[in-house]
Amino acid sequence: MEVTLLGTGDTTGTPTPGCDCDTCEAAAERGVERSRFSVHVRNERTDECLLIDASPDFRHQFLHRDVALPDEAIISHVHFDHLDGLGNAYRLFDDLPVHAADEVDPATGESVADTVRSKYDYLDRVTVHDRTPFEPFETCGFEVTLVPVEHPPLVCYGLAVEDPETGAKLSLTGDTSFAVPDESRAALADADLLLAEALVPAHLCEHHPLGGDHHDEDGVPRTFGTKHMTREGALALADELNADQTRLVHVSHFYPADEAFEEPLAVDGERYQL
């Protein structure tokens, strides 16, 4: 299993357009980028490629990273920075199977699969496959499980991706607060590589109107506001999940420049062999 981090940033990415903060300037000086979130997973046994979330930066990512176009895709939730890259299916694919959860979202009245189907109904090249959370399904020779996480007000899912032949396992938390349900934690546990979202460091919670939540025993917030993990929350979750290796993703430009490029914060283009 070859995992390439195509996009490791949040909704605006780093550098953020029009921003002259120290972190964005440092990213430009270093020649690194955190574009909107997306992960490419290649099955070396079958030479099939799976795309996890379709970033609006799809074209840029596939032009600048040495990876093949995906054979299939999975969408974790319906925020634009994880979904809107599907528009690139036009003229690039004869057919792109897209897997998404079938659970109806009370906030929208439809499932993630329904939203993908309705939003891209003009693209006959996108074929949507409804998947039930916690029920493994096969794609690109992998066994994949969608697991519910907490990203209010919308439903959102993490993923466990396993190679049944080699035993390699990739887990992604998805966009989530620290309040990941116990059953989902169990499904994500013991991965060779965990990609955990970590929007900001915990000390920035003082700038959020709602502050932080899910504090640890020392009072450190593990959730920023209500729907994203802090760096400290992501690391605490990774420790609990017993991941062999953890990379922090969905990272914002709000990290102070002297913290923004420290381990284990990921940047675009990182590649891992599992």
Query: Residues 159, 171: contact at Cβ < 8 Å?
Result: yes
Give me the residues paired with residue 265 across strands.
Answer: 248
Residue 196 confidence (pLDDT): 98
8 Å CB contact between 264 and 208: no
Q: Tell me, what amino acid is at 115?
A: T
pTM reported for the whole predicted model: 0.97
**From first to last of its 274 residues, what are the pLDDT tens digits of the chain?**
999 999 999 999 999 999 999 999 999 999 999 999 999 999 999 999 999 999 999 999 999 999 999 999 999 999 999 999 999 988 899 999 999 999 999 999 999 999 999 998 888 889 999 999 999 999 999 999 999 999 999 999 999 999 999 999 999 999 999 999 999 999 999 999 999 999 999 999 999 999 999 999 999 999 999 999 999 999 999 999 999 999 999 999 999 999 999 999 999 999 999 9
Distance CA 81, CA 14 (A): 13
**Contact (CB, 8 A) for 222 and 202:** yes
**pLDDT score for 122:** 85
Q: Provide the domain limits for residue 189.
A: 2-266
Asked whether residue 272 is domain-assigned, the answer is no
Please report, for the domain that includes residue 51, its CATH number: 3.60.15.10
Please state the domain count of the chain. 1
Spatial separation of the C-alpha atoms in residues 154 and 208, rounded to whole Å = 20
User: Is 166 domain-assigned?
Assistant: yes
Is residue 224 one of the residues assigned to a domain?
yes
Task: Specify the pairing of strand 212-215 against strand 137-139.
Answer: unpaired
Give the integer Cα–Cα distance in Å for 104 and 2: 33
Please indicate, yes or no, if residue 71 is contained in any of the structural domains.
yes
Asked whether residue 273 is assigned to any structural domain, the reply reads no
Q: What is d(CA 30, CA 204) in angstroms, rounded to the nearest whole number?
A: 24
Helix H segments across 53-199? 58-64, 80-83, 112-119, 182-188
Is residue 195 domain-resident? yes
